[in-house]
């Protein structure tokens, strides 16, 4: 477990008018702690900290639901 690595950011495949980004903040024994930021068309931002298992995270990347990006900034 190495918490000093560069934090990785992912764009979540979502719905029109809403952009959601995920930041891996910490690796744990069963998965990752992640920060999720959702930006809506009208300018609101929602943040939540969650846990995601390695298995679910890998499935999301493999299926294209999550795509790695440079940083979590809406277009």
Q: Is the pTM of this model over 0.85?
A: no
- Phi–psi pair at 29, nearest 5 degrees: -65, -30
| Under 8 Å between Cβ of 74 and 39 | yes
Reading the block at residue 43, the tokens are: 């300018």
Mind listing the pLDDT tens digit for each residue in 35-65? 999 998 888 899 999 999 999 999 999 999 9
3-state helix, strand, coil in the chain (%, to 5): 10, 50, 40
Mind listing the pLDDT tens digit for each residue in 11-27? 999 888 889 999 999 99
**CA angle 12–40–68, rounded 5-degree value:** 20
């Amino acid at each position: 477990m190495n918490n000093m690595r560069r934090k990785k950011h992912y764009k979540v495949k979502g719905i029109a008018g809403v952009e959601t980004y995920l930041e891996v903040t910490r690796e744990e024994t069963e998965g990752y702690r992640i920060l999720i930021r959702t930006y809506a068309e009208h300018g609101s931002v929602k943040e939540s900290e969650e846990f995601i298992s390695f298995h679910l995270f890998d499935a999301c990347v493999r299926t294209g639901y999550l795509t790695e990006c440079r940083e979590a900034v809406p277009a």
